[in-house]
Structure 1
Amino acid sequence: MKKLIITIIILCTVSFANAQDIAGRWQGFLNAGGTNIRLVFNVNKNGDNTYTTTFDSPDQNAFGIKCNSTSVVKDSLTAAVDVAHIVYKGLWDGKDGITGTFKQNSTLLVLNLKRNDLIRPQTPKPPFGYYTEDVEYDNTVKTLHYGATFTRPNGNGKYPAVIIITGSGTQDRDGTLFGHKVYWVLADYLTKNGIAVLRVDDRGAGKSTIGPDGTNVTSESFSYDVETSLNYLESRADVDKKHLGLIGHSEGGIIAPMVAARRKDVSFIVLWGAPAIGGAKINTQQAGQALRQRGVDSASAKAYMDLNDQVLPLFKTSTTKAELDKNIEPIIGNWLKTQSKSTLDGLSLANDTANRQALVGVYANLYTTPWLRFFFTYDPAIDLSKVKCPVLAINGAKDVQVDAESNLTAIKAILTQSGNKDFKVEELPHLNHLLQDAKTGDVSEYEQIQETMSPEALNIISTWIKLHTK
């Protein structure tokens, strides 16, 4: 299972049931060489009765890895993560158990799963005290259908409104993660404070269709989904069209400026854990953090980060996979030659042809994924510098997925240089990427923390929006 480490680390990009149904959170333990590794499969049922799955390996600090395919035929489940050469096949008992096998490359292991759904205290419960409506709408050319929930205060007025833009990975409208309903909790708080909210299923989640492009989409593609949602809000008689805003979480924090740069009807944006320094630098930071969390020594982690920093910029200059392979082979070969045995041992690698080819293959697979290639090459400063509406940028000081200091500093510098006169940058002590009160901020804590979102963070976002929608 050691070969899984580097692949999983690289995939850890800012990355997040029901009547009796196989949809839900399923957990099991994989016995690999005498070590029990906890694995979690999050199976989601879509509006068209198809399924999508994300894969977590909490012991390896890997969360929200998207399965390329999920098949549910009667009581049989099959889910695959192509880039890691993983296939899980299981037989559901119709209740709370799945008996199955986990295969990676040629290794086949038993992996039985138990349902492990979680309930959190901040999850809103009826009566809500405000108006709520499940809505559906299409894009202009009718190639995409969206499912969403609209909430607003009770009454007959026109209300300022926001769209919540989700982070990376296929997420439902509530931002469901380890039983937390992150975006629902935020929407509930804002609506109780006089702000209408539209929260939308991502493509391929809930009642939103995946569209004709399938998985060949990028953050830019998603920005046009947000425009469709913005058009929907403007069609409603109960929305104040002069006060429409966007709240972008994580990846959503680079999507919001894309939309605001194009649309002058966006009157404010909130950037929550936004990766403003760019995806390549974010990925390198995350890789180093994940390796250290696995017990890899600092020198070995730094060595891998240096390699990553050399390779990822080639995604922008290489026009084909073959060209990328040609460009990175000498870099990886030279890197392997120059590392000490202790460094390579720390990374479970060796200076040989097999490891060189394996590393080239990992990066090549990433290159062929349009979303990742865009994320690694896109410069968020381009669109953020065009944003002239008010901006609130907020990060938790203990965010290990999107470093608060470097990204907030970048946002401040970009907005200052571009002449934006109304922005606020705030780093909140003790909070993580989800804005939960945390001890370390590590992703593994998300599941352990009962709080879905800090009341302090909720209040800061709400107060700032109200100030800018008077």
Structure 2
Amino acid sequence: MTPDISGDWHGVLDTGQAKVKLGLRFEGDTVCMNRRSGAVDPLPLRRDGDSFAFELLPVDLAFELRLAGGRLEGTCFHNTVDFPVRVVRGVAPPTLHAIRPQTLAPPFPYEVEAVAFTGADGLSRSGTLTRPPGPGPHRAIVLSSWFGEVDRDQTVAGHRPMALWADRLTRLGFATLRYDKRGVGQSEGRFHTASTGDFAADLAAAVAFLRIRSDLGAVGLLGHSEGGHISADVAAADPTIAFCVMMTPTGVPDEEVLEAEMFNAARVVGGVPRDFDRTVGFVRALTQASKALTAEESLAQAREILRAAAYPPERLEVRAVIAAAPWQRYWATHDHTAGLRRLTCPALVVMAGKDLQTPPRAHAAALTAANAAATVVTLPGLNHLLQPATTGAPSEYREIATSLDPTVIKLVCDWIAAL
């Protein structure tokens, strides 16, 4: 006899990259799935005794669940990985986000000024300049955010780490500048057609903007992840940069560590990759397509690879465009330690022991070898966002109250102050 599972069920799908709230309603031979957009999709439900299966193909989800102990447990297949999933009866309770004890609020014991400067594309970049009390000239630090479409504060999962760095460094006696990336927040320009090289050019423009101000003096750079790379590239090309801090950068190309590191976040939450060798080969082939001489060649090669892999037609063109995008093409051929190797200013490289995106075991050796004069430090227990972590998976970011672990704040501030 087939058990009755009609009604509402809820749970969470943790992919390591994100935690997705699941809301399901079973009605006869269909299941309705609440999505983040608020839409409800009626899907065909397959039954076999106390086992149930359904798919949401547009977003690449396939569920296989079994009724056990009043719960539906099983797997969700997503992005070539089987993830464990469990749902229970009822409607999900409201989400309560962790309190952010490091959230900043005015008044501040320093000056805060809205500024704008001209980026490398000739369009305006909007930012925030903080200055210690007094006439100056004050030493200054430009802050650079990590990969992605993020604002001047690097706002992610309720955290604002760049605002926190600006606060701590200004209290230490430095002026700081942080700004929205091109096409983000109040900055003009186009984000999706920009590469890491374009972001580096914007950083150089930010440095030039600070140097025309009489109230500011020597300029140093501090960047997180991709922001660390562009900081090193800009400092290497400008011998007057006072110092460079790189936090959680990469040391080797992504394709060199695919076999060991590709499924890090998925595995720590219980995910099991399917067809591991095939998936690695597929990703490596797309990376090679990104290295083609022209964007048109990259796009054509990516389409061919995706068709050969029987990639879902409804998502094929989007995936091919990503492989041929300016950012992907630049990053696929970028020498990750070139800037660090050429630095002549003092340099600090900070790695995080539980970082699953740029894990020290894969990158620290190359970063250390790149510049014997640089200080390379690995802080245990921290994730890529530099929070105290349990697994290190990005899906934990929102659940962790701390935005920046005090150990990394102290390390960086002490190192800069000692200069």
TM norm structure 2:
0.73
1:314-344 deviation digits (Å, cap 9, x = unpaired): 42145354566458857985xx7xxxxxxxx
Could you say which residue in structure 2 is the equivalent of 1:164?
143
* Match of residue 322, structure 2, among 341, 346, 366: 366
Structure 1 residue 135, shift from structure 2 partner: 1.4
1:385 aligned counterpart, secondary structure: helix
Q: 1:214 to 1:462 in 2, by over 3 A?
A: closer
Could you say which residue in structure 1 is the equivalent of 2:164?
185
2:291 aligned counterpart, secondary structure: helix
CA distance in 1, matches of 2:251, 2:34: 34
Structure 1 residue 357, shift from structure 2 partner: 6.8
* Match of residue 389, structure 1, among 334, 342, 345: 345
1:120 aligned counterpart, secondary structure: coil
Could you say which residue in structure 2 is the equivalent of 1:270?
245
CA distance in 1, matches of 2:24, 2:260: 30
Q: 1:332 to 1:284 in 2, by over 3 A?
A: farther
Structure exhibiting the larger radius of gyration computed from Cα positions: 2
Q: Is the 8 A contact 1:321 1:364 kept in 2?
A: no
Letter in 1 for 2:346: P
1:25-46 deviation digits (Å, cap 9, x = unpaired): xx975649859687489xxxxx
1:46-94 deviation digits (Å, cap 9, x = unpaired): xxxxxxxxxxxxxxxxxxxxxxxxxxxxxxxxxxxxx979xxxxxxxxx
Letter in 2 for 1:219: T
1:177 aligned counterpart, secondary structure: coil
Letter in 2 for 1:271: M
Aligned pairs, number: 351
1:417-451 deviation digits (Å, cap 9, x = unpaired): xxxxx310010000111111111111111000000
Could you say which residue in structure 2 is the equivalent of 1:307?
282
Letter in 2 for 1:431: L
Say whether residues 1:438 and 2:418 are aligned partners.
no
Over the matched positions of the two proteins, sequence identity in percent amounts to 30
2:394 aligned counterpart, secondary structure: coil
Q: Is the 8 A contact 2:302 2:320 kept in 1?
A: no
Q: Is the 8 A contact 1:280 1:312 kept in 2?
A: yes
Could you say which residue in structure 1 is the equivalent of 2:102?
122
Where do 5+ consecutive residues of structure 2 fail to align? 1-14, 39-57, 61-93
Q: Is the 8 A contact 1:165 1:247 kept in 2?
A: yes
* Match of residue 194, structure 2, among 212, 217, 237: 217
Where do 5+ consecutive residues of structure 1 fail to align? 1-8, 16-26, 42-82, 86-113, 337-353, 417-421
1:100-131 deviation digits (Å, cap 9, x = unpaired): xxxxxxxxxxxxxx998875110112222222
Could you say which residue in structure 2 is the equivalent of 1:133?
113
Could you say which residue in structure 1 is the equivalent of 2:217?
240
CA distance in 2, matches of 1:273, 1:283: 18
Structure 1 residue 389, shift from structure 2 partner: 1.3
CA distance in 2, matches of 1:458, 1:278: 28
Q: Is the 8 A contact 1:119 1:179 kept in 2?
A: no
Q: 1:174 to 1:306 in 2, by over 3 A?
A: same
Say whether residues 1:402 and 2:358 are aligned partners.
yes
CA distance in 2, matches of 1:30, 1:322: 42
1:258-286 deviation digits (Å, cap 9, x = unpaired): 21122122121111011221344477766
CA distance in 2, matches of 1:231, 1:205: 21
1:176 aligned counterpart, secondary structure: coil
CA distance in 1, matches of 2:191, 2:379: 38
Q: 1:288 to 1:301 in 2, by over 3 A?
A: farther
CA distance in 1, matches of 2:114, 2:97: 23
1:408 aligned counterpart, secondary structure: helix
Could you say which residue in structure 2 is the equivalent of 1:252?
227
* Match of residue 289, structure 1, among 261, 264, 277: 264
* Match of residue 153, structure 1, among 100, 115, 132: 132
1:226-266 deviation digits (Å, cap 9, x = unpaired): 1111011112222222xx11111111121112211221221
CA RMSD, 1 decimal: 3.7
* Match of residue 367, structure 2, among 386, 411, 432: 411
Q: Is the 8 A contact 1:275 1:282 kept in 2?
A: no
1:206 aligned counterpart, secondary structure: coil
